[in-house]
Each structure stands twice: as C-alpha cells, then as structure tokens.
Amino acid sequence: MSTTRHSLAQLMGKAGQAVQSGRVADADALLRQAARLAPKDAAVWCNLGMVSAMRRQHADAVRQFTRALALAPDLGPAHVNLARVLFEQERYGEAEKHARRAVALQPDGPMELKILADVMVRRGRVGEGADLLNRALALRPDWVDALNSLASVHRLEGRPHQAIALYRRCMAIRPLESAARNLVLTHYYDAASDRDSLAAAVAGWVGLHAGIVPLPPPANDRDRDRRLRVGYVSADFRNHPVAGNVGPVLTGHDRSAFEVFAYGLNPTGDSVTRTLSGAVDHWRMVAGLDDAALAGRIRADGIDILVILAGWTGDNRLRLAALRPAPLQVSWHDFGTSGLTGMDAWITDGIIHPPDQTGEAFCEELLRLPCFYLESVPPDAPEVTLPPCLAGRPVTFGSFNHPIKMTDATLALWAETLRAVPDSRLVLKYRDQFGETGLRHRFAERFAALGIAGERLVFLGQTQETRDHLAAYGMVDIALDTFPFNGSTTTWQALYMGVPVVSRAGSRFVGRVGLSLLTALGLDDLAAGSDRDFIAAAAALAADRDRLAALRAGMRGRVATSPLVDAPAYTRSVEAALRDLWRRRWCRDGSA
C-alpha cells in the first residue's frame, strides 16, 4: 500500500472511531484532512457529508455529497444520505430524485426503501410510502426507525390508535427518542386517549432525558423592573403558522423594557425569516448547534426568560428546558405539557384552560392571556363571496385541515352531520394530499363504511398561491372542525373568508382552540360541548340561510374589531405576563 493510501486509511479509521465515540467535530477535522490528501476519493467526500449532516450543517453536507456523486455517480450511500439531508431541508423534489436513484441501485436496501418512503409520505403519496416501509420491514422486521415511520403513516391517515400500538412496539424493542415523542403527540389525536395514558406517554419521554444535567444556577440580576432579555427559540421562523402568530410580538416588543433575542433553528430561511432577523435586537442562526451548545449560547447571552416555541413538534428543542440555560423557561404554542420540571410556565388563555376546570394534567404554571391567538390578516386574500347555498346549490360543508386530524371520531361526527342535512356535500382539501388517488380512495372507503356515498364528497388538490387557496373557501357554506384535535390556522382562514366554523370542544388544549377563536369573535355558540350539540349546531346553521348570509357579510367586520388582530394590545398582554412571572418567580428572593 502506498504511503498516501496508508495515511488515508488511518485517517478514515480514526474518523470512524471518533464518530462512534460521539466526537463528531474531531471526525470532521480528520475527514477534511483526508479530503486534502485524496480530493478525488468519493468515499471521503461521502463520509464528510455524513458527518456534516450529523452536525446539522446541511449546506456543507449537500456540497460534499454532490462532490462525491460528481466523482462516483452510482455511489449509493451518497444518494441515500443526500436525499435525507434534502428531505430535512424540505427540498422534497430533489430528495425524491436521489432516493429513487438509491432504490434503483439497491432495490432490496432497507435504508434506501425507507428514505424514499419518508419522501413519498411527506409529498402526500402516503399509500406508496406505506408499501415501501412494509418492504423495508419485510427485510428488517424489528427495525425501529421503519416501525416509527410506519406508525406515523397510520397517524397521518387519521388512525392514531393503530399508530400508538406501533410506537409502543418501537419502544419495547429499543427506546427511541423520536418514537417516544411521536407516542406523546399521537395521544392528542386519539379520542380514546385518557388523562392517564397521555401522562404515561409523557413520563416515558421525560424518562429518556432523565440524565440531562442542568447548567449551574444562573446569576442574573434580580431587579424587578430592569430591561429583560427575552429569548425565543424556534425552528419555525419562516412561512409557518407559529411565525405568523408570534412574529408581531417579537417585532412589537417595547424595546425600552425588553431586549429581544431570536434563536433560529430552521436550516434554511425565506422572506419571513429575513423580516424577523432584521426586526429583533439579536438574531442567532443556531440550526447547527446541539442542545448543549445552544444552551451555552443562551446562557452566554444572559437571557432572563427563554420562550420555547412549539417544543414538541418538528426540529424544536423542548429538551432545552431540562438544561436550564435561563432563569425562567416558558412554553408557547405547544400541544400540551412538557412534563419537564425545568419548564416554568405555559402560555394559554382562560377559554382553553378555564380556571379550576381544565381537563388535562400539566406541570407548568399557566399564564392566561386575554386571548391565546394573534392572527395576521392575509395580505392577498380575495373578497368574500356569497354562501354557495344561496345560489341554489346544496349546502356544502368543508374542512381544509390536515388528514392527520381526520380521525375515525371526526369522520363519524361529520357523517352524522351530513345525514342530518340531506343532500349536503363535504369538501376536503389539504395542500396536495387529496390530489393523491390513493388517499382519496381511502377516505371514500372510510365514509362509505359510515353510510356516506362517494358523490357527496369533493376532493380538492393543490393550489399554488395562497390567494387561490383562500378563494377555495368560496365553495364552502360551513366549515367543520376536527376532533379531538381542532384546527387553528385553517379555522382562522375559514373565518377570515366569511365561512362560519362549527367546532367540537374537548377537555385539552388542542381540543379547545376552536372555542377560543370563536369566542374572540363572539361566536362561541358555534362551539359544541358534545357530539349531539355539534350536529345540531351545524344542521341549524345550514337551515338558517339568513344567518349564513349575515355571518358571511359581517365576518371581516367582526375580525377587525376583535382581539385576534390587535397586535399592540396582544403584545402588551404577553409582556405583562412575562414581567409578572419574572417578579414572582425570580425576584422573590430579592429585588433592586
């Protein structure tokens, strides 16, 4: 073996050992040295790309995998891993191209089949994704990553009970953080989930992180009235509902009382990202940092109150609360309790969590705002149109919610509603997912089993522009909410387009956001506390054409005078809640 090849083999071996021992930065340095030694070795660039992906340095990983493929176009591992990184960047078309090439090169490769399945599911082709996952599991029956993905397919199809069974199987084989988190999330979609089963799932997830050692206690000044450093951490500082809800608060804070830090976890940005990054006092792009490094950065910034946004979902960092990087940690826009003793408070309102009447368990202090949601008026929304039933067409119900929320409980409720209003129809739309033949067929079968004929269902596919999506509400007389997990953005969009929404209120946060939105508009009579009342409310509204017309014509007036769009007042209420928390929970032992 030549000296160069010997040195290269040594570097590659040491890099592999570094990865196995968790020293990823060391592996990166070794592989970069190898790349300088052998710049035309595709395997070196592929391994370097994998290490960059581990470090969440996605742009570097894409360049390195691309270089490997330029040197060796049929290098399967490079296609697989490039597809995975592109998938995480939400570049699904490119990811599909590389995933399909990987499967063509290795038709019986479990890894190849799984990444293509994940891409297909995310692109709405759920049936194809399920078939690919079953092929992978036939090759590796106890592969928890594939079981976790297949469970997520069941959840996406509105079958949370089956998903829960698979997530539990994953956990029995090998405790997997993502499966534990998904198990918790799926309980919120399952009408059969009770307080105890959800609490057990949360405890299981918390148990996986019991070994996290918090940072030493912070030494932040306990002055009650000084300018506070508030940090917001999120992977959704982009065109996303969370950014739409919290963006006006971040940009509208009273800068004499609050210094605003934003920690962006999204690896790529868009126009929303650029707007937010230029409007806050300090913008930190931290997608490549692990939890410990991010916590260190937050501590170094001297953050007084850390607000963790939607911690249970996506690439958000709920675990940060366990590290205690700030004196106080607050959860906002999340599904439910964190279960972590390090999370001090959870932002909500008095409708979602009525005092002394809430039906869910939590460990945080509740910070009740006057109204939970702050909404942004769509800048390119079309004009409101007349209800279609006034033009002689059948009453048309509709839901533009994610199919994941269209559980068996929801479909049974909608089927009863359709029966209560003879000749009525139901329009279903969510991005491009109902453009998939397989998904339409499965939903038609599910409704047929409930006695609803296919001709009463209308499936809409993708609309490219937001304006066209909002215009589709012109086909709908009455929107039907999902249960036990209500819609939020979809409810807001329907209401803004003049379409009244009938909601089924439950006992948890996720099942009461519809009631919160409707109450803010003075329409709480459209939120029912039982299935029977939901059906009655929808049928009564369908029969009252005068009220339908009045609601349609007057909805934007209601919106304009509601707390839902009063950003300055809403921001002041958030500031008051945070200041009060600071004084009570951090300054109680001393003050300026």
Q: Is the CB of residue 433 less than 8 Å from the CB of residue 398?
A: no
Q: Which two tokens stand for residue 195?
A: 């307080």
In 268-374, which ranges are continuous DSSP H helix?
271-279, 291-300, 320-323
Q: What is the pLDDT of residue 438?
A: 76
R_g (Cα) of the chain, nearest Å: 25
Q: From first to last of the 592 residues of the chain, give the pLDDT tens digit.
A: 456 666 777 777 887 787 787 887 887 888 788 778 788 888 888 888 888 888 878 889 999 999 999 999 999 999 999 999 999 888 899 999 999 999 999 999 999 999 999 999 888 788 889 999 999 999 999 999 999 999 989 988 888 999 999 999 999 999 989 999 999 999 999 999 999 999 999 999 999 998 999 999 999 999 999 999 999 999 999 988 999 999 999 999 999 999 999 999 987 789 999 999 999 999 999 987 889 999 999 999 999 999 999 999 988 999 999 999 999 999 999 999 999 999 999 999 999 999 876 778 899 999 999 999 999 998 889 999 999 999 989 999 999 999 899 999 999 999 999 999 999 999 999 987 787 777 788 899 999 999 999 999 999 987 778 899 999 999 999 999 999 999 999 999 999 999 999 999 999 999 999 999 999 999 999 999 999 999 999 999 999 999 999 999 999 999 999 999 999 999 999 999 999 999 999 997 543 3
- Asked whether residue 342 falls in the same domain as residue 486, the answer is no
Q: What is the pLDDT of residue 307?
A: 98
Does 23 fall in a domain? no
The Cα 132–Cα 122 span in angstroms is 13
Does 127 fall in a domain? no
Q: Rounded to the nearest 10 degrees, how much is the dihedral formed by the CA atoms of 303, 304, 306, 307?
A: -130
Which of 151, 179, 210 is the C-terminal boundary of a domain? 210
Cα–Cα separations (whole angstroms), residue 180 to 54, 171, 188, 333, 381:
21, 7, 14, 20, 40
- DSSP-assigned letters across all residues of 228-249: EEEEEEES--SSSHHHHHHHHH
CATH number for position 526: 3.40.50.2000
Burial class from Cβ neighbours inside 10 Å (0-12, 13-18, 19+) for residue 91 reads middle
Q: What is the pLDDT of residue 157?
A: 82
- Asked whether residue 248 falls in the same domain as residue 294, the answer is yes
- Asked whether residue 321 falls in the same domain as residue 426, the answer is no
- Asked whether residue 322 falls in the same domain as residue 406, the answer is no
The Cα 289–Cα 323 span in angstroms is 14
Q: Which two tokens stand for residue 416?
A: 């009863």
- Asked whether residue 501 falls in the same domain as residue 546, the answer is yes
| Residue 265 DSSP symbol | -
The Cα 183–Cα 172 span in angstroms is 12
- Asked whether residue 427 falls in the same domain as residue 490, the answer is yes
Q: What is the pLDDT of residue 439?
A: 79
The Cα 27–Cα 48 span in angstroms is 8
Q: Is the CB of residue 82 less than 8 Å from the CB of residue 59?
A: no
Q: Is the CB of residue 313 less than 8 Å from the CB of residue 184?
A: no
Which of 369, 396, 422 is the C-terminal boundary of a domain? 369
- Asked whether residue 323 falls in the same domain as residue 415, the answer is no
Does 556 fall in a domain? yes
In 512-566, which ranges are continuous DSSP H helix?
513-520, 531-543, 545-560
Angle between helices 489-496 and 513-520 (to 10 degrees): 30
Question: Scanning the structure block, which residue is given the tokens 């000044």?
Answer: 221
Question: Scanning the structure block, which residue is given the tokens 């296919």?
Answer: 454
- Asked whether residue 284 falls in the same domain as residue 172, the answer is no
The Cα 73–Cα 506 span in angstroms is 54
Burial class from Cβ neighbours inside 10 Å (0-12, 13-18, 19+) for residue 404 reads buried
- Asked whether residue 507 falls in the same domain as residue 363, the answer is no
Q: Which helix (H) or strand (E) holds 379?
A: none
- Asked whether residue 191 falls in the same domain as residue 242, the answer is no
Q: How many domains in the chain? A: 3
Closest-CA residue to 340 (of 359, 315, 354, 323): 323
Does 442 fall in a domain? yes
The Cα 81–Cα 53 span in angstroms is 8
Q: What is the pLDDT of residue 544?
A: 97
Burial class from Cβ neighbours inside 10 Å (0-12, 13-18, 19+) for residue 32 reads middle
Does 70 fall in a domain? no
- Asked whether residue 497 falls in the same domain as residue 421, the answer is yes
Q: Is the CB of residue 497 less than 8 Å from the CB of residue 475?
A: no
Does 374 fall in a domain? no
CATH number for position 242: 3.40.50.11380
- Asked whether residue 411 falls in the same domain as residue 272, the answer is no
Q: What is the pLDDT of residue 589?
A: 54
Dihedral sign for Cα 370, 371, 374, 378, please: negative
3 state DSSP class of 339: coil
Does 234 fall in a domain? yes
Give φ, ψ of 283 to 5 degrees. -110, 125
Does 115 fall in a domain? no
Determine the structural domain holding residue 505 and report its residue range. Answer: 388-563
CATH number for position 193: 1.25.40.10
Q: Which two tokens stand for residue 443?
A: 């939903």
Task: Write down the number of H helices and E strands in the chain.
Answer: 24, 13
Which of 337, 369, 401 is the C-terminal boundary of a domain? 369
